[in-house]
């Protein structure tokens, strides 16, 4: 029995100091936590967005280019080129990260993961990189890089969701660094944005020995944007003044209108671009898309549009003539239409399968000063998948 007491005594002599040390460490940790809270009790961070997204597809293009003699009584075809292009390709691979710090500060980043360096700015391949301060429920200030506030639902959609598009959508470099003041009314139905940012036309400043300095040309855009939501009707309207040369502007009037119900929705966008009142209706884009939600997993859609730029207006940079509006080629008409579908498995809706067939035609206006009429037509068939890897779903406890 004495031996047993001796063993227990030795064990307690060994363990009690370690227990005291452990207790002391726990007290220090609790003290540090308390000190951190006392230093900044409002510093609470949580992730709102943390995921990767990618889209890949197999595409087949049947490209036909024709020339025909305008003066010929039979308008006979004098030239024709056919080209078949097809293969697997990837369109997008993006990293998205967003969060909130306390009750007033938030941030968002969307980075395109591509191997090509930017041509104008270090942040060319960064779509979003901004920080926002929310003063109250009505007012917020946003600084950094984001999309220019231009109206229209085709423009507003994430690029990964746009399969075929207007020529304007594909040519417009919309992501720029600037500052935005955002007002939301108390009902939450109306949001108005006032934005000052670099002009998209800095991308097209020609004959510059160092294109990386184009953003220093002092070209700005001034944008007023309204987002209204009234039951089944939504609106994305804007008025934009964008410098193409210092002190000279192209005016945008963008009107996006959408009706959305339980099983279907349709939008109609009209975007007018003009460098002067005498050219007001010569340069514009019109686009529409109809979605039918057949089931929670299946959407059928039809999309089409018409564009033209017959302004014939030029300006000069270093004695070189350049189109004022490079979002739609000068002296061109373009129309497109197509049908498609989307499928999301119920067991894993972050995976989307899509398929569509679309036709597009680009022509010269009939009064274009040339002996030949040019016509380019492309028939496209595309089948692909889009995948969102949302880390918020897999690591919920770690991200709080």
pLDDT at site 153: 98
> How high does pLDDT run on average in the chain?
84
Query: Does a structural domain hold residue 24?
Result: no
10 Å Cβ neighbour count for 100?
A: 16
Distance CA 374, CA 364 (A): 6
**Has residue 14 been placed in a domain?**
no
The string of pLDDT tens digits covering residues 290-337 is: 999 999 999 999 999 999 988 776 665 555 666 667 788 888 899 999
Domain presence at residue 347:
yes
Q: Which residue has the higher pLDDT, 192 or 27?
A: 192
Mean pLDDT score, 20-47: 62
- 384 within a domain of the structure (yes/no): yes
Rounded CA-CA distance 140/128 in Å is 17
- Domain annotation covers residue 207: yes
Residue 118 pLDDT exceeds 70:
no
Give the pLDDT mean for 203-212: 62
Evaluate if residue 204 carries a pLDDT over 90. no
Phi-psi region for residue 138, left (φ > 0), alpha (ψ -120 to 50) or beta?
alpha
Question: CB of 183 within 8 A of CB of 207?
Answer: no
Q: What is the pTM of this model?
A: 0.84
Give the tens place of pLDDT for each residue, 242-289: 998 888 889 999 999 999 999 999 999 999 998 776 677 788 999 999
3-state secondary structure the chain: CHHHHHHHHHHHHHHHHHHHHHHHHHHHHHHHHHHHHHHCCCCCEEEEEEEEEEEEEEEEEEEEEEEEECCCCCCCEEEEEEEEEEEEEEEEEEEEEEEEECCCEEEEEEEECCCCCCCCCCCCCEEEEEEEEECCCCEEEEEEEEECCCCCHHHHCCHHHCCCCCHHHHHCCCEEEEEEEEEECCCCCEEEEEEEEECHHHHHCCCCCCHHHHHHHCCEEEEEEEEEEECCEEEEEEEEEEEEECCEEEEEEEEEEEEECCCEEEEEEEEEEECCHHHCCCEEEEEEEEEEECCCCEEEEEEEEEEEECCCCEEEECCEEEECCCCCCCCEEEEEEEEEEEECCCCCCCEEEEEEEEEEEEECCCCCCCCEEEEEEEEEEEEEEEEEEEHHHHCCCCCC
* Residue 45, in any domain of the structure: no
Residue 266: per-residue pLDDT: 98
* Domain enclosing residue 296, as ranges: 51-394
In a domain, 204, yes or no: yes
Residue 331 near residue 309 (C-beta atoms within 8 A): yes
Percent of the chain beyond pLDDT 90?
A: 57
Q: For residues 207 and 210, what is the distance between their CA atoms, to the nearest angstrom?
A: 9
Q: What are φ and ψ of residue 66, in 5° steps? A: -130, 145
From the number of C-beta atoms within 10 Å of its C-beta (0-12, 13-18, 19+), residue 190 rates as: middle
Higher-scoring residue by pLDDT: 59, 41: 59
Residue 129 has pLDDT above 60, yes or no: yes
How many Cβ atoms sit within 10 Å of the Cβ of residue 378? 18
In DSSP terms, 321 is beta-bridged to: 316
Q: Which two tokens stand for residue 157?
A: 């959609």
Q: What digits encode the pLDDT tens for the residues 132-148?
A: 999 999 999 999 999 99
Least confident of 104-118, 141-155, 225-239, 344-358: 104-118
In the chain, the number of structural domains is 1
The answer to whether position 17 is within a domain reads no
pLDDT at 263: 95
Q: How far is CA 302 from CA 55, 151, 288, 383, 385, in A?
A: 20, 21, 8, 16, 19
Q: Which of 96, 95, 92 is nearest to 108 (CA)?
A: 96
- Domain of 238, CATH number, reads 2.40.160.10
Please write the tens of the pLDDT for every residue from 153-193: 999 999 999 999 999 999 999 999 999 999 999 999 999 99
Does the pLDDT of residue 385 top 90, yes or no? yes
């Amino acid at each position: 029995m004495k031996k047993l007491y001796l063993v227990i005594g030795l064990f307690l002599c060994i363990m009690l100091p370690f227990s005291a040390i452990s207790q002391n460490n726990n007290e220090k940790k609790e003290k540090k936590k308390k000190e951190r809270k006392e230093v900044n009790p409002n510093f609470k961070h949580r992730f709102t967005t943390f995921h990767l997204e990618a889209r890949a597809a197999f595409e087949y293009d049947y490209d036909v280019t024709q020339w025909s003699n305008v003066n010929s009584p039979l308008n006979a075809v004098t030239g024709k080129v056919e080209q078949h292009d097809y293969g697997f390709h990837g369109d997008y691979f993006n990293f998205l990260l967003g969060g909130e710090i306390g009750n007033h500060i938030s941030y968002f980043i969307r980075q395109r993961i591509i191997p090509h360096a930017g041509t104008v700015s270090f942040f060319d391949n960064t779509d979003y990189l901004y920080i926002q301060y929310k003063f109250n429920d009505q007012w917020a200030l946003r600084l950094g890089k984001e999309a220019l506030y231009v109206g229209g639902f085709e423009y507003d959609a994430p690029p990964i969701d746009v399969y075929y598009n207007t020529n304007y959508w594909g040519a417009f470099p919309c992501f720029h660094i600037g500052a935005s003041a955002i007002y939301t009314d108390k009902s939450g139905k109306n949001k108005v944005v006032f934005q000052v940012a670099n002009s998209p036309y800095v991308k097209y400043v020609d004959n510059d020995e160092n294109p990386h300095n184009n953003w220093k040309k002092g070209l700005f855009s001034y944008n007023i944007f309204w987002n209204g939501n009234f039951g089944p009707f939504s609106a994305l309207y804007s008025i934009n003044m964008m410098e193409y040369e210092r002190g000279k502007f192209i005016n945008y009037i963008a009107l996006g209108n959408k009706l959305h119900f339980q099983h279907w929705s349709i939008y109609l966008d009209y975007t007018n671009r003009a460098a002067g009142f005498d050219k007001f209706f010569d340069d514009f884009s019109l686009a529409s898309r109809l979605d039918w939600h057949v089931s929670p997993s299946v959407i059928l859609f039809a999309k089409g549009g018409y564009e033209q730029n017959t302004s014939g207006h030029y300006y000069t940079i270093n004695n070189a003539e350049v189109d004022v509006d490079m979002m739609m080629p000068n002296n061109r008409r373009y129309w497109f239409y197509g049908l498609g579908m989307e499928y999301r498995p119920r067991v894993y809706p972050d995976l989307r399968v899509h398929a569509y067939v679309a036709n597009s035609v680009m022509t010269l206006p009939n009064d274009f000063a040339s002996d030949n009429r040019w016509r380019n037509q492309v028939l496209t068939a595309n089948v692909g998948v889009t995948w969102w890897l949302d880390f918020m779903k897999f690591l919920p406890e770690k991200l709080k």
